[in-house]
Chains A and B, each alone.
Chain A
Amino acid sequence: MIAYLAKRIGRSLITLFFIITLVFILLRQMPIEGYFENFDKLTDEQIQVGLEQMGLTDPMPVQLANFYKHLLHGDLGESRRYRANVAVTEILAKKVPISIKLGSLSILVSLLCGLPMGILMAKNKGNFFDKLGTLFIVFIQAVPAMVYYLFIQLYGTTIIDVPLLFDASKPLCWVLPVFSMSLGNTAYYGMWLRRYMVDESTKDYVKLARAKGVSEGKLMKNHIFRNAFVPMIQYLPTSFLNTVVGSIYIESLYSVPGMGGLLVDVIKKHDNNMVQAVVLLFATVGVIGLLLGDIMMTVIDPRISLSKKGGGR
């Protein structure tokens, strides 16, 4: 177990190292306007001096080494255009908690809606509920998220009478962002749980239990659901990623002061340092999500071999 964990975490670290290095090198190729607040007003000499001060004229390996040295001290550099000369970490420190709160609330909501939906659909396979649920899933999976997010914002704000823009102190303001963000994962959980439960319900042990006279409700709860739930764990990473993407849309639509909205803002302002920091943060979230998914999978289902090669999904 420990050997497996060490190997799996080591792999994640190597991946992170690759990503960080690649992102860093790629973003150095960007136009240099992204490092100055008022690029148009500066003379060539001023630009040159500025670049030297920021260490951007050094050879790439030196820059990279410096970056890692600072990163280990928890320093991601300074913002240039978004908020001039403020440390990136200081900006992020205020944004991250809101995003985490929003993301975890939405995952909670989608579990609370998605799992009952999957069970209901599996129980009524081929009937009205199943068809209704399939319609919902097809719509959510196929149509770009932007489309329904917009209509939820448009009509939702008038229906429950909240302002368009987010205000963290009003609980009612959390409803629409959390609801919109949970839709994607709800459809996802519902779809897979239904499929696994339907698969499970044709197996021999279920037939035997039914022949012995186990009640239908008990059968669903104790036999089918439990076994169908285990493979659901592997979708944890994907739901992490769904939440990240959802947060980029939702936070900037409702002006939630979180990470996702920040990414859109800094891209529009061409602030290279901030883009780098936010991209790295999101990549880290993704890598950690996958890692957690793999670890939980092995913890929850003892049948899965811990030393399976590759350790991937």
Chain B
Amino acid sequence: MAALRHKLSSKFERHVSDQIETMPDEELFSFHTYNADEGEKTAYSNYSYWRSTLNSFKKNKTAVILVCLVVGILLFTFIQPLLPNQYDPNLVNNDPSTGIQYRNIPPYILTLVGNTDYPEIKETFWFGTNSIGQDLWARIWTGTRNSLLIGIAVASIEALIGIIAGVLWGYVRKLDWFFTEVYNILDNVPQTIILVLISYMLKPGIKTLIFAMCITGWIQMARFIRNQVLMIRDREYNLASRCVGTPTRRVIAKNLLPYLVSVIMLRMALSVPAAIGNEVFITYIGLGLPTNIPSLGQLINDGRQLMMSASLRYQLIFPTVVISIVTISFYIIGNAFSDAADPKNHI
């Protein structure tokens, strides 16, 4: 193959050089006339930061599919309660004839693939029921919604506080020592310990969890923003912008932000799986949400207590599959977006 290509190319080259040799000089060279209008033209680039970002993100097929998946899951957690024949996640289902709870009914979904005998009952529990007769299907989707909302809330609050604090830290020189000291102390304490301590002290609830996770998370974001601001704000092109009188708002939006977006997005995307994982952790050590607010951590913890009997293992497997899909998706999306958003990777 390589030999053939070589032969072809050398043949082609010979052909071209033959042609050139036979051409008279007038055809090879021609004088260009001076055109005053052409001389006035300036180069114009139709480069747009967000369009380039979107274009390079779209090239990563896995990430695009995962974005659709995550958005789909999030939408479905809101749509699911509106669908017909759904159960309330906290409702304990009783057998209408005997009044006994539907305990540990195997998932109906398994009978569709011919895996198990479904007991003779009228109701359909897609993912089965838990040990007190609550519908696992409804609990999983409500739990996913709660966990995702916690994750997204934590990521947004961290980003908001982090960006504001970081810009202040970078721009206002008098505040530098203060933030640096706060950073030195906060960064020295294991985050988990702060999480445990705050959840131990406050009343369990969604707000407590979000508060406990945000209280340390913002400082990393702030420090990063501060370092970037310090690095970028006195570069020549920003000096030039300031000299020609560009308003600060425009300098920040056009010159500073593109450099920060990639990392802000990456940190936000990674905060979501971290927050979901922290929720699992806090629930495991017994400081999680009350049982009437289902969350993925709670479902995993409930499933854990039953995992030793093989027939009840579905109560562990369904939540772990959902949590794995969600966290891995966020992780990959975050990395793909941060690659795409980095102006260095734009052509």
Contacts and interface: CB of A to CB of B under 8 A. Distances in A.
Interface in B188-233: 188-193, 196-197, 200-201
Interface residues of B, number: 39
A126 interface: no
Secondary structure at the A interface, as helix, strand, loop or mixed, is helix
B314 to A, nearest CB: 13
Interface string A1-43: 0000000000110010011000100110110000000000000
Interface string B325-345: 001101110000000000000
Interface stretch (B17-25, B159-167, B316-324): B316-324
Interface residues of A, number: 44
Classify the secondary structure of B's interface with A.
helix
Contacts of B307: 150, 154
A286 B196 contact: no
A267 B193 CA distance: 12
Given A150-B304, A264-B286, A312-B187, A144 B327 contact: yes
A144 B193 contact: no
Given A144-B300, A145-B281, A267-B196, 10 more contacts: A15-B184, A15-B185, A30-B201, A138-B331, A139-B324, A142-B273, A143-B328, A145-B277, A245-B192, A312-B184
A168 interface: no
B281 A286 contact: no
B244 interface: no
A11 to B, nearest CB: 7
B320 to A, nearest CB: 5
21 contacts: A11-B184, A19-B189, A27-B197, A30-B200, A142-B324, A143-B277, A143-B324, A143-B327, A144-B273, A146-B277, A147-B320, A147-B324, A150-B304, A154-B313, A244-B190, A263-B196, A268-B285, A268-B286, A282-B193, A283-B193, A290-B188
A283 B191 CA distance: 9
Given A15-B188, A264-B285, A142 B328 contact: yes
A180 to B, nearest CB: 14
B284 to A, nearest CB: 6
B188 A12 contact: yes
